[in-house]
Amino acid sequence: MKTINISRSNGVVRVDVNVELDNRKSQLYVNIDRVEKRFISILDKVKKFSKFHKLSLSYDEIDYYDNEVDVYDTPYLHYTKGSGKRKPTISYQQHGCIPKEWEENYILFLEDPKTIKPIEVFLSEFNITLSAKQLREARKAVKGESSYYTEI
């Protein structure tokens, strides 16, 4: 399942896409090269828009029990326009539990966009196309009139 959340605060539009990973009741092992390659392919599509500000990727637990017995790291990738770097920065998040499921969280930040085109390009990378009604709701969210949330 995929969830989309679009909101606006202080002129910055935040687009969250959460992709639920296959039923993985175990520690998450991530091939950092494969993940970085996918992140860069998405980044190359969205950073060409003038309103692009930041893109990040993290991994979060769904329905977990925090016992801090099995401590391990998962990657956190982020890229900020104007940081002087050409590649994304790779950090690590520490997890101390074995969750029932995992999700991949992509977050795109746009500075005061006038159109919804960057959001459509971003969502197309996850094979998501919004219907006409969903596009109207997303436009309202971009203008700051409301926020938009849906599950696909």
Looking at the chain, which runs of residues are DSSP E strands?
2-9, 12-20, 52-62, 72-80, 89-95, 101-111, 148-151
Domain enclosing residue 22, as ranges? 2-151
Per-residue pLDDT band at 109 (split at 50, 70, 90)? very high
pLDDT digit string, tens, across residues 111-135: 999 889 999 999 999 999 999 999 9
Predicted TM-score of the model (pTM): 0.89
pLDDT digit string, tens, across residues 48-92: 999 999 999 999 888 766 666 677 888 999 999 988 888 999 999
- Structural domains in the chain (count): 1
Residues facing 93 on adjacent strands: 74
The phi, psi pair for 45, rounded to 5°, reads -75, -40
* Distance separating alpha carbons of residues 46 and 48, to the nearest angstrom: 5
Please report the pLDDT score of residue 152 as a whole number: 66
